[in-house]
Structure 1
Amino acid sequence: MSAVTAPAPRSATGVTTAVRPPVVTGLGIVAPTGTDAAAHWRSVLEGTSAIGRITLFDPSSYPVRLAGQVPGFSARERVPSRLIQQTDRWTHLGLAAAEAALADAGAHPAELPEYELAVVTASSSGGTEFGQHEMENLYQHTPEWVGAYQSIAWFYAATTGQISIRHGLRGPCGVLCCEQAGGLDAIGQSRRLIRTGAKLVMTGGTDASLCPYGLTAQLTTGQLSTVQDPARAYLPFDSEASGYLPGEGGALLVVEDADAAEARGAGHRYGQVLGYAAGFDPPPDSDRGPVLARTVGAALADAGLQPGEVDVVFADALGVPEADRAEAAALAEVFGPCGVPVTAPKTLTGRLYGGGAALDAATALLALRDQVIPHTAGPSAPAPGYGIDLVLGEPRHQELRTALVVARGYGGFNAALVLGHSAFRDT
């Protein structure tokens, strides 16, 4: 059964209430394109690809040998030593991103009401690499070789829990497991938490499944590109599209109640969370089509916007021809053929699963801040009949008030998030 949801704020009596949109005050980015927001944004605008041969393990026996890896990340430099042994690389990336996001927001949790500070992140598969090592210990030796931390390090909520503990964020905490769509779902949940009393929410997601076990699991989808040329392997919306490449990393965002952010003297705001909706596609053998167009429409309605008020779309861009065609059709249905500029900076990083949509949201906020649409590196032109205005070649400078971020997860998950410029409809 298909479903689309777009939550609206309600009072205790069930009547929808008008509230100021939550604001994003901090970004923490740990991605293949850079281990901080400035480096990532510079790589995106310059179109500098981070796709290369996998070096975290020997990929020579696998059909997919390319990916986006976080460069030069040292857990020892950014994560407390005791946590390195207790947690997976995915959580190391998340802890580093969370600390950077808080610093960027100028937020000091110790100075704020601890039970009004929340955490909600996205996860696709949890601690994959850590789990692989412990499984190797099990089948190569005996159960006594399996470490006690396996019970928590693999768990999909590990990053949420460790961030909460480390920074004293003792309000509502949770995790969304919706594969690539989860990053948007986490941000949508952060808005719900703020509407019910939270003042600050750490949200977003990271991922790190570039290990033999993780890559093998991803190969089962049949959607990964086996092209060995880094420049031609991941070409969404292109006539030569042959699948996508995996990646690691992501972004965490500090989302705050607008009044609370002002009260604590937040120095800057990247933008506003205006609207959100989630949907789930019906079974492939049903007579009902994908619900992405309805999901986008619901997110726009939730934001109180008409299609013509959206200035840019950050596409899901799977790179699988059938999926690209369906996404292009959904965008054309909502906005009209070539009705809105479309971009997909994820060609520089690969798809980051639980971290991918959160990174897209962070990139969209940087685009709103600097009034520029980053281009999509790789594709030469949209495939015939797609009917989308894909931004290619170089960034496009224009007035940006709003951005739509679209994400789809394996199995039918899809989500849409509407972000606004920091001064847009701030009532």
Structure 2
Amino acid sequence: MTTRQTHLTTARQTPEVAPDAVYVTGWGVASPLGMGAADFSKAFVEERDALADVTAMFEEKLPADRAFAIPDFQVRDHLGRKGTRFFDRSTALALVACDQTLQDTGFAVTDENRGQVGLILGTTSGSVKSTSDFSRETITEDRPYLVNPVLFPNAVMNCAAGQAAIWYGLKGVNTTIAGGRMAGIAALRYASRSLRWGDADALLVGAVEEFSPHNAWLTHLPGGSAPAGEGAALFMLERGEALLASGRRPDAEIMAVASASADPADRPAFVEAFADCVRQALREAGVGPGDLWAVAPGSGPESAIETATLEAGLGGDTVRRLPVARLVGECHAAQGALQLAAVLAHHRQDAALDGRPALITSFTPEGGVGAAVVRGWQR
């Protein structure tokens, strides 16, 4: 395995952009903490309480009265009424985050470039509520039609990615990655390779998860410690050559992404595989544990697995941990993308962190483990 030597910059220095490296050039969020990078950054750094009363959101019973949801979210408030009437919640959140990202980047999709601009979106299994509601109607509604065919696209797993491509005229790579809590890291890995291989010039990359009774109960039943949440976070990824040509300043560099799998039933072996993944990402990034300014774990400090992994992978758990789960809840597929947003939020607010790397970690109950190393700058 090759190790890339990295020269860490100090605060306010101009980033040293490498032509073949992959960079975040803008990002957007649709979250209870805020809409857009600026609002989310301020709220996350201030550690605002975003728990909301969700009792009026659905007719179905919920396991808790409060969640990290957006009760008053209406897609028409952000994208207008035309063409948005039948969007499911996942699609709506994803499109709003895409819109925020394009605005933050200042990226214009044109007839000249749209063929090389694509979207990589992580999910658990699409909109579970839409799929469940559509399936239920086949049993409860009157014959012969049974269901509303207009709603069928919402029951397809890649609905959000497809609708976003249509809405914004993206004709490049369009991929939906069903990875659960690993979806964000998996999307980063997929997108980084696609850019390096020349499959695209620019990619909107991220993940989405909606709040629904289905997801709320999924979060509650295993005895999860964090309330259910929802959100979408998207990032514009481009190769360094595009930044050098335009003179733009990046938000971050994707230094390394690593993933693996192990048997979660064998706790010691699983933790060691997770720690190996962390060490691999650090080696590929060319940084050591002492270079990290923070770790953004997917779960809270009560997670024995992630705590043990960080102690083993970093040679001790002394690196600052960002309270992602405490501030956004359990967002399943969107968790990894929101972890990256949390790191970049601090960079937006604190120039003293310029050029310093951070670690993002994630795992799934089924055995997936992943880690990413990014370094950011204020922009």
Please classify the TM superposition score into its range, dividing by the shorter chain length.
0.7 to 0.9
Provide the rounded CA distance (Å) in 2 between the counterparts of 1:160 and 1:62: 28
Contact residue 19 and residue 244 of structure 2 kept, 8 A: no
Counterpart Cα distance in 1 of 2:354 and 2:83: 44
Q: TM-score, normalised by structure 1?
A: 0.77
1:310 corresponds, among 292, 307, 310, to 292
Contact 2:220 2:228 in 1 (8 A): no
* Whole-Å separation in 2 of the counterparts to 1:135 and 1:8: 50
Aligned: 1:213 with 2:214: yes
Is 340-349 or 192-201 further displaced after alignment?
340-349
Cα drift, residue 34 of structure 1: 0.8
1:224-245 deviation per Cα after TM superposition (whole angstroms, max 9, x unaligned): 3xxxxxxxxxxxxxxxxxx121
The answer to whether the Cα contact below 8 Å between 1:365 and 1:419 also exists between their aligned partners in 2 is no
Select which of 191, 204, 227 maps to 2:206: 204
Indicate conservation of the 8 Å contact 1:194/1:257, yes or no: yes
CA contact (8 A) 2:296 2:321 kept: yes
Change (3 A) 1:35 1:286: closer
The aligned runs of 1:31-180 (5 Å cut-off) are 31-55=31-55, 57=57, 61-70=61-70, 72-79=72-79, 81=81, 83-110=83-110, 112-142=112-142, 144-180=145-181
1:422 CA drift (Å): 4.1
Structure 1 residue runs of 5 or longer lacking an equivalent are: 1-5, 10-17, 225-242, 373-396
Deviations 1:83-108 (A, max 9, x none): 43443111101001101101111110
Secondary structure in 1 matching 2:269: coil
Alignment partners' CA distance in 1, 2:343 and 2:268? 35
Question: Deviations for 1:344-364, whole angstroms, at most 9, x for unmatched residues?
Answer: 233122121121211110221
Give the TM-score normalised by structure 2. Answer: 0.86
Do the aligned residues in 2 keep the contact of 1:314 with 1:405 (CA within 8 Å)? yes
Q: CA deviation at 1:117?
A: 1.1
Structure 1 position 245 matched with structure 2 position 224: no
The correspondence for 1:402, drawn from 343, 357, 361, is 357
Kept after mapping to 1: 8 A contact 2:356/2:375: yes
Aligned-pair CA distance for 1:47: 1.6
Determine the structure 2 residue equivalent to 1:389: none
Secondary structure of the 2:157 match is coil
Q: Give the CA RMSD over aligned residues.
A: 2.7
Secondary structure, in 3 states, of the residue corresponding to 2:35? coil
Does 2:366 correspond to 1:371?
A: no
Instruction: Give a deviation string over 1:296-345, Cα, whole Å, max 9, x none.
Output: 111112212222222210112256x4xx1221111111222243211223
Q: Contact conserved, 1:115 with 1:171, CA < 8 A, in 2?
A: yes
Can you list the C-alpha shifts for 1:58-100, whole angstroms capped at 9, x where unaligned?
5894433331012532211223545434431111010011011
Does residue 342 of the first structure (1) align with residue 343 of the second (2)?
no
Residues in 1 aligned to 2:173 and 2:62: alpha-carbon distance in whole angstroms: 41
Matching residue of 1:182:
183
- Which range moved further: 158-167 or 279-288? 279-288
1:37 positional shift: 1.7
Q: Does 1:325 align with 2:280?
A: no
- Residue 398 (structure 1) shift: 6.3
d(CA) in 2 for partners of 1:63, 1:400:
43
Partner Cα separation in structure 2 for residue 398 and residue 370 of structure 1: 9
Amino acid at match of 1:168: G
Change in CA separation of 1:138 and 1:200 when aligned onto 2, cut-off 3 Å:
same
For 1:377, the equivalent position in structure 2 comes to none
Task: Give the Cα–Cα distance (whole angstroms) in 1 for the partners of residues 69 and 2 of structure 2.
Answer: 35
Q: Distance in 2 between matches of 1:289 and 1:192?
A: 26
Q: Which amino acid aligns with 1:353?
A: H
CA offset digits 1:150-188 (Å, max 9, x no partner): 432122211111122222221222111111121121112
1:420 is aligned to 375
Q: In structure 2, what is the Cα distance between the partners aligned to 1:336 and 1:405?
A: 16
**How far apart in 1 are the matches of 2:267 and 2:41?**
42
Contact in 2 for aligned 1:8/1:302 (Cα 8 Å): yes
- 2:338 paired residue among 359, 364, 368: 359
Deviation of 1:248 (Å)? 0.8
Answer yes or no: is the 8 Å Cα contact 1:87–1:127 preserved in 2: no
Q: Structure 2 CA distance, aligned partners of 1:293 and 1:285?
A: 14
Other-structure match for 2:26: 26
**Conserved? CA contact 2:299–2:324, under 8 Å:** no
Post-superposition offset of 1:54: 1.8
Matched positions, count = 362
Q: 1:325 to 1:119 in 2, by over 3 A?
A: same
| Structure with more of its chain in helix, by fraction | 2
2:22 partner letter: P
